[in-house]
Structure 1
Amino acid sequence: MLEELYKLQNGTDIRGIAIENREKDINLTAERVKMITRGFVIWLKGKKSIGNEKLKVAVGMDSRLSGPEIKDAVSGELLNLGCTVCDCGLCTTPAMFMTTVHPDYKCNGSIMITASHLPYYYNGLKFFTEKGGCESDDIKYILTKALEGNYEDACRRGKILKIDFISEYSKLLIEKIRESINSETNYEIPLAGLKIIVDAGNGAGGFFTSKVLEPLGADTDGSQFINPDGRFSNHIPNPEAKEAMDSIRNAVIENEADLGVVFDADVDRAAIVDDSGRKINRNALIALASSIVLEEHPGTAVVTDSVTSRGLSEFIENLGGIHHRFKRGYRNVINEGIRLNNEGKDCFLAIETSGHAALKENYFLDDGAYLIAKILIKMAKLKKQRKNIESLIDSLKTPLQSLEFRFPVLKDNFIEYGSTIIENLKEYIKGIKGWKEAANNYEGIRVECDNKNGDGWFLLRLSLHEPVLCLNIESDAETGSGVIVDRLKPFFTKYEDLNSSSFK
């Protein structure tokens, strides 16, 4: 049973199958959710050194179909344990963290029910205190305690408070935007004259139109898929996905909007499209956020994941910043930013290519809505100078070719097998002319290829959550990626327990 429960851990989250479907069996049942909730209470009591009856826990969910049932299971178990429950209803992951620091609530902990952009039949749990989200070791502890069952019976049943916290969270964003733009003529409606449309992908991000943009004076006509619908029938809410970015791009062009915003299901990630239809996500979004932050904090380090482009490094360095390329995984990136600050090295932005962006000024919380608020502030200021937001990244160089391959590892001990392949590749590249291992590799191996031998780079790493080796390739030459692939084929195809058929 413990092994099955451990399988629900997905890094720093809990994720599983909550709705019956043709592909996979249900493993995130109401009973398991109750057990995990007990484990969280035990963990939280240890952190707060207080009894169950004094614990106040906020509970919220995104738009997934299984959300209400899971929320009832979580809330019911918290009440049975004597806790006070703040039921936030439909909410976002960043807002659920804010319940722990908002002066009017100051919950001891919070639980967000979400599985981000995964298909409709998934769901999961994220846990927070005022210190931030749980780490991987915390989740393992919670799961272990979930099975022990040695928790105190409550002297009394807890109480439940229904709160509209997404409105409270929206007020924080509105206040931030108004104060930062500080318009003398339009203080209350500083976004008047701007047409900004939102594509929430039927997730929890639809609130941004009516509760943030419209009170600030923006025209949101043309916004789409803002009503919650856990089937995600229009497209998966994922700022990395071509389908989602094409959707908002088409809406921007059709409605002649000044800006298009797309959120993931629980709004901890975002991306934008400018008025010309240019998609600004992944490296372009990191560049845009970096330009804004570096203007406010010259010389700061920007921590990113490992698959960022050479052009992005040049862009950040040309602005006087330091590009600190680290590991995949948003918690890895955020924790590295926090570590740098603790060592006395300025880092005001930690951002992953997936769209997770965390700013030091905002608790190092990965918050898609807050990132968009920062972009809107800059956009309004640029408008006074008759400039567009895309002008900030005009100098960003983009590669001519970008490829990604995913090679399933067929061995049970996939971590050991995959790690061996990575180590062998380090030796293999020593015999390839014009190739050398990049400095400061924090995961896998990144190789730089000179302009006669691929004119780009590639990175081989183990997936964070699956038995898969991931290979990313970028090149600044028309035939560069082909050169890199051709030289790598003999290496990968010799491994019988590695499915490299996608190379063909």
Structure 2
Amino acid sequence: MTATVQNPNWTKLQNGSDIRGVALPGIPDEPVNLTPDIAETLGKAFVRWLSQTLNKPAQDLTISLGRDSRLSGPDLMAATTSAISRLGCRVYDFGLASTPAMFMSTVSPDFNCDGAIMLTASHLPFNRNGFKFFTGEGGLGKPDISAILNFAADQDFPEPAEGGTIETRDFMGVYAEGLVKLVREGVNHPQQFEQPLKGLHIILDAGNGAGGFYCDRVLKPLGADTSGSQFLDPDGTFPNHVPNPENEAAMAAISEAVLAQNADFGIIFDTDVDRGAAVDPQGQELNRNRLIALISAVVLKEHPGSTVVTDSITSEGLTTFIEQDLKGVHHRFKRGYKNVINEAIRLNNEGQESWLAIETSGHGAMKENYFLDDGAYLITKLLVELAKLKLEGKALSDLIANLQEPQESSELRMKIGVEDFKDYGNQIIEALSQFADNHDGWQVVPKNYEGVRVSCQSPEEQGWFLLRLSLHDPVIPLNIESNVEGGVSQIAKTLLGFLKQFDKLDLSAFER
């Protein structure tokens, strides 16, 4: 029996530029607030928004829908597609799909969808689900999501109309063919053009999310040996590990598989494939700073001197690598993949060439690919380079041999125990900035776009820290890195002494 949400709090469903909620019961203190009824309303609200935005009647709209492997996905998608079709729209049901593919359906000449919806909650637990919306201009922003939720709250929809249809279509095959073409043309192997990955053993870990297609529809047609690939079947209980390239257990799983199979390369995706990471033949993780350095090396070879936009917590060694070794520009901006992407777009509009926007989380977007955060496209670009380097007797990791990595790093997340947490958090950041200005060996880093970043240059510290507010939660994260043993603890000790004056801040994270 379907749960009913009485008087839903529509604004609570907004999570930045996405909609996310609890779709299944079973977790204490997490009541269900994303039911099929709610999904119907959201679908109709999107039609209202899309019709108004494009100045196009609902009956003339074509909208595609896809989902990840979550248990709640089929019911929510069925409700949404039905609601949209009842307004007279043509609906394409793509079934299991990736988030990047849903956007691509809006720019595909064969589909030319006016809008697209992906049902996913990325790497969140099994009971969650959500909506991501797209037009041909890209993913919707925060104001767009707010407008859709306002339409939902006001029950402001187009009138029901005849002529709506629901058609089951295979778009993932079309999307995969584009990735295959990218590798073939990028490697351009004269003897094995069709199978440029022949002779390479590549293992895929899809984490039981939506990324399993990449094995049969991309890697195998290109000639790769994919034996040992794991967790390819969709399973919304995520029985093996969280599908998340930032998760330690997930990265350990793909690293162990690469070593056990003596493979040349390992690939891992998150649930909806908008993020990816990799592993080299030695089982070394190619994620976070290493992934950024690797794709930067590829991009800056293609576009010398251009700017790489990253989030705020990238290392000093990465800046040195991009600017001194690769002769590019590193523009360290804010956390949040939409922030990073929008900043790269802004720079291009102002005449500063930027071809890559990437977060340490694995969200990577390229100018050549609509600035779409597409984990499969990012990994495919690396496969092109992997195959080309193999012909030269080189390894992918050779590209980042000069990357200086910190000896120690840590992230602490401190909860703020007041309702107006943003104001309280900003008071802490401002006070810390003043404290750092007067502390020996510390210097506030200029051109910092969020929180306070401080360079710590005393011999026993040799590192930096960044204190910033979380994008959505009452949390103030602290990132610390050091190039010397014990440096993180030394920096943390001074920070703990300073932060003790703020009695609404939970400092228990420092205990470890």
Which TM-score tier does this pair reach, normalised by the shorter chain?
over 0.9
For the pair 1:113 / 2:123, whether they are aligned, the reply is no
Amino acid at match of 2:416: V
Amino acid at match of 2:156: N
Residue in structure 2 matching 1:93, options 69, 89, 99: 99
Residue in structure 2 matching 1:79, options 81, 85, 103: 85
Q: How many angstroms apart in 2 are the aligned matches of 1:187 and 1:452?
A: 54
Q: How many angstroms apart in 2 are the aligned matches of 1:176 and 1:105?
A: 20
For the pair 1:463 / 2:470, whether they are aligned, the reply is yes
Query: Which residue does the alignment assign to 1:232?
Result: 238
Query: Which residue does the alignment assign to 2:423?
Result: 416
Q: How many angstroms apart in 1 are the aligned matches of 2:212 and 2:236?
A: 13
Amino acid at match of 1:17: V
Q: How many angstroms apart in 1 are the aligned matches of 2:22 and 2:68?
A: 16
Query: Which residue does the alignment assign to 1:405?
Result: 412
Q: How many angstroms apart in 2 are the aligned matches of 1:152 and 1:90?
A: 28
5+ residue gaps, structure 2: 1-5
Query: Which residue does the alignment assign to 2:280?
Result: 274
Query: Which residue does the alignment assign to 2:38?
Result: 32
Q: Deviations over 1:123-168 (max 9, x none)?
A: 0000000100000111001100111123221331410111011111
Amino acid at match of 2:398: S
5+ residue gaps, structure 1: none
Q: How many angstroms apart in 1 are the aligned matches of 2:213 and 2:200?
A: 18
Amino acid at match of 1:21: G
Amino acid at match of 2:401: D
Amino acid at match of 1:34: E
User: How much does 1:29 deviate?
Assistant: 1.4
For the pair 1:259 / 2:259, whether they are aligned, the reply is no
User: How much does 1:491 deviate?
Assistant: 1.4
- For residues 310-321 of structure 1, the aligned pairs below 5 Å read 310-318=316-324, 319-321=326-328
User: How much does 1:3 deviate?
Assistant: 7.5
- For residues 144-183 of structure 1, the aligned pairs below 5 Å read 144-183=150-189
Q: How many angstroms apart in 2 are the aligned matches of 1:383 and 1:274?
A: 13
CA contact (8 A) 2:86 2:161 kept: no
CA contact (8 A) 1:433 1:453 kept: no
Query: Which residue does the alignment assign to 2:334?
Result: 327
- Larger mean Cα displacement after TM superposition, 70-79 or 422-431: 422-431
- For residues 283-362 of structure 1, the aligned pairs below 5 Å read 283-318=289-324, 319-362=326-369
Q: How many angstroms apart in 1 are the aligned matches of 2:153 and 2:492?
A: 48
Number of equivalences: 504
Q: Deviations over 1:177-233 (max 9, x none)?
A: 111111110011111000001000000000000000000100000000000000001
CA contact (8 A) 2:468 2:477 kept: yes
User: How much does 1:83 deviate?
Assistant: 0.7
CA contact (8 A) 1:192 1:219 kept: yes
User: How much does 1:452 deviate?
Assistant: 2.5
Q: How many angstroms apart in 1 are the aligned matches of 2:428 and 2:78?
A: 46
CA contact (8 A) 2:460 2:484 kept: no
CA contact (8 A) 2:107 2:113 kept: yes
Q: Tell me the SS of whatever aligns to 2:220.
A: helix
CA contact (8 A) 2:460 2:486 kept: no
Q: How many angstroms apart in 2 are the aligned matches of 1:479 and 1:257?
A: 35
Q: Deviations over 1:407-437 (max 9, x none)?
A: 1000001111111111111111122101011
Query: Which residue does the alignment assign to 2:11?
Result: 6
For the pair 1:138 / 2:139, whether they are aligned, the reply is no
Q: TM-score, normalised by structure 2?
A: 0.97
CA contact (8 A) 1:115 1:122 kept: yes
Q: How many angstroms apart in 2 are the aligned matches of 1:430 and 1:216?
A: 56
CA contact (8 A) 1:357 1:368 kept: yes
Q: How many angstroms apart in 2 are the aligned matches of 1:234 and 1:308?
A: 29
User: How much does 1:276 deviate?
Assistant: 1.1
Q: How many angstroms apart in 2 are the aligned matches of 1:261 and 1:200?
A: 8
Query: Which residue does the alignment assign to 1:197?
Result: 203
Query: Which residue does the alignment assign to 1:477?
Result: 484
Q: How many angstroms apart in 1 are the aligned matches of 2:417 and 2:161?
A: 52
Q: How many angstroms apart in 2 are the aligned matches of 1:430 and 1:51?
A: 58
- Larger mean Cα displacement after TM superposition, 306-315 or 154-163: 154-163
Q: Tell me the SS of whatever aligns to 1:248.
A: helix
Residue in structure 2 matching 1:125, options 127, 131, 141: 131
For the pair 1:496 / 2:503, whether they are aligned, the reply is yes
When the two chains are superposed, the root-mean-square deviation of aligned CA atoms in Å is 1.0
